[in-house]
Structure 1
Amino acid sequence: MDGEERYDYFLDAVIEEREVWILVNADNRFLKIVSDEDRVAYLPVWPGEQFAIEYAKGTDELAPKAISLPDFFNKWVPGLTRDGLEVGVFPGAESEVWITAPEELKRDLQEGLSGSGF
């Protein structure tokens, strides 16, 4: 899947499961990546635990952690925005990553939630 297809899959899965997955180290600090191309710092997020585990393969110090959608909306989005971090949606080992502003991702998820009948 390309970046846009992964983004759409991510939205559907997160709306269904009501959680976002990140990777944290032993100190419970979240993984932050700075892209080589444009030096943009972002928080990588995945639609499920297994995808995060797969991405972290080969590293002992990273573990998946779930964030509920309410926590993501109310705590993480304002914090990421304040810290100037973007969100890297559903990165894979070999594929491009869709980087978006936290508020844009929140808006897309909220639109999906309201359209899903919940």
Structure 2
Amino acid sequence: MSQLHPLLEKNAFQRLEETLALIKQNETLFILTDEHGCVMLTTDDEDGVPVWPDAELAKLWATEDWAHCEPMALPTKEFLSKWVVGMTQDDLMVIVCPVPGEEGEVISPEEFAQQL
């Protein structure tokens, strides 16, 4: 039996903290993509791009409507130099490490960049 990912047992704020630490350490974050590009997520009031600290967690989100999606690694430098600007212009938020049954913390791309 496979062991559950340790972040699955954390609340959204704890996942935010640990996700930031892992992304800093690995200098990589993960998004989900399909043939149309990056997967977007809509929470109660915000549209955003979900990000994860590893492919395994991103893959857990790739179910039902997103079953055809694949995790894609993004170097932190690329995210900071290209994505933050684009997401800010498009009024998109960063949704940090959503897990099945629970959305992640929603923060602005600028705030996310500052914490990285």
1:33 match: 41
- Is residue 42 from structure 1 mapped to residue 19 from structure 2 by the alignment? no
Cα displacement string for residues 49-90 of structure 1 (whole angstroms, at most 9, x for unaligned residues): 110011113443200001101100000000000110000000
How far apart, in 2, do the equivalents of 1:100 and 1:73 lie?
A: 14
Q: Does the CA-based 8 Å contact 1:88-1:99 persist in structure 2?
A: yes
Task: Report deviation, 1:97.
Answer: 1.4
Gaps of 5+ in 1: 110-118
How far apart, in 1, do the equivalents of 2:90 and 2:52 lie?
A: 20
Percent of aligned pairs with the same amino acid: 27
Gaps of 5+ in 2: 1-9
- Is residue 62 from structure 1 mapped to residue 69 from structure 2 by the alignment? yes
How far apart, in 1, do the equivalents of 2:63 and 2:56 lie?
A: 11
2:97 match: 90
Q: TM-score, normalised by structure 1?
A: 0.85
Q: Does the CA-based 8 Å contact 1:2-1:96 persist in structure 2?
A: no
Q: TM-score, normalised by structure 2?
A: 0.86
How far apart, in 2, do the equivalents of 1:10 and 1:62 lie?
A: 21
Q: Secondary structure at the match of 1:91?
A: coil
Task: Report deviation, 1:17.
Answer: 0.7
Task: Report deviation, 1:24.
Answer: 0.4
Counting matched residue pairs gives 106
Q: Secondary structure at the match of 1:67?
A: strand
Return structure 1 stretches of 4+ with deviation > 4 angstroms: none
Instruction: Name the aligned partner's letter for residue 73 of structure 1.
Output: L
For the aligned residues, what is the CA RMSD? 1.1
Instruction: Name the aligned partner's letter for residue 101 of structure 1.
Output: S
Q: Does the CA-based 8 Å contact 1:26-1:61 persist in structure 2?
A: no
Instruction: Name the aligned partner's letter for residue 43 of structure 1.
Output: V
